[in-house]
Structure 1
Amino acid sequence: MPKSRIRKKADYTPPPAAKQAQVIKLGNRSWVAPVMLAMFLIGLAWIVTFYVTDTRLPVEALGNWNIVVGFGFIAAGFGVSTQWK
């Protein structure tokens, strides 16, 4: 009985360095840390002011929704923090 041919796979060779993907350098992100900290502090100050003034400030018409606004600022701070490198 005849023997079947053995199929050999070529060894993997990585593409040359010239064809490799170039690293995309984004702009300066020095604004991220100050904006993130500002959002955290504004949110904290909003909630503390709401409790200390016995729900009269920062916006009396919002009532208990002032807490949601404060946490919204804090969440925005976390959102900005994803841009930090």
Structure 2
Amino acid sequence: MPKSKVRKKPTTATASRAAQASASSTARVKVAGPSSPIYIGIMVGLMVLGLLWLVVNYLWGDKIPVMQSLGNWNFLIGFALMVAGLLMTMRWR
């Protein structure tokens, strides 16, 4: 089996500079805790609300005056609600 190369020990001047550089570069990282239940509820609620908006638009959109006046904007509203919920999942812990 081949023998590994032996590393040279650094001199005291370079060792102290390396120790100072590594000590100054290490910083404490604040660990974020889990998301609150309110955040999770809003996230899931937005996705479900967007889905329900689209389903209601398909099934009864011509019978509801507000949805009828919005026309194709209903698709934008439904998808925007779902995308907002999906974007919230990126910050969910």
- What is the aligned partner in structure 1 of residue 48 from structure 2? 41
Distance in 2 (CA, whole Å) between partners of 1:75 and 1:67 is 12
Count of residue correspondences: 76
Unaligned 5+ runs, structure 1: 1-7
Distance in 1 (CA, whole Å) between partners of 2:45 and 2:35 is 15
- What is the aligned partner in structure 1 of residue 28 from structure 2? 22
Distance in 1 (CA, whole Å) between partners of 2:62 and 2:33 is 42
Q: Counterparts in 2 of 1:2-81, with a 5 A limit?
A: 10-11=14-15, 12-13=18-19, 14-15=22-23, 20-26=26-32, 29-30=35-36, 31-57=38-64, 59-81=67-89
Give structure 1 regions of 4+ aligned residues with deviation exceeding 3 angstroms. Answer: 25-28, 54-58
More helix by share: 2
1:56 shift after superposition: 3.6
Q: TM-score, normalised by structure 2?
A: 0.64
Query: Kindly, what percent of the aligned residue pairs are identical?
Result: 26
* Structure 2 residue identity aligned to 1:48: V
Unaligned 5+ runs, structure 2: 1-10
Q: CA RMSD of the aligned region, Å?
A: 2.7
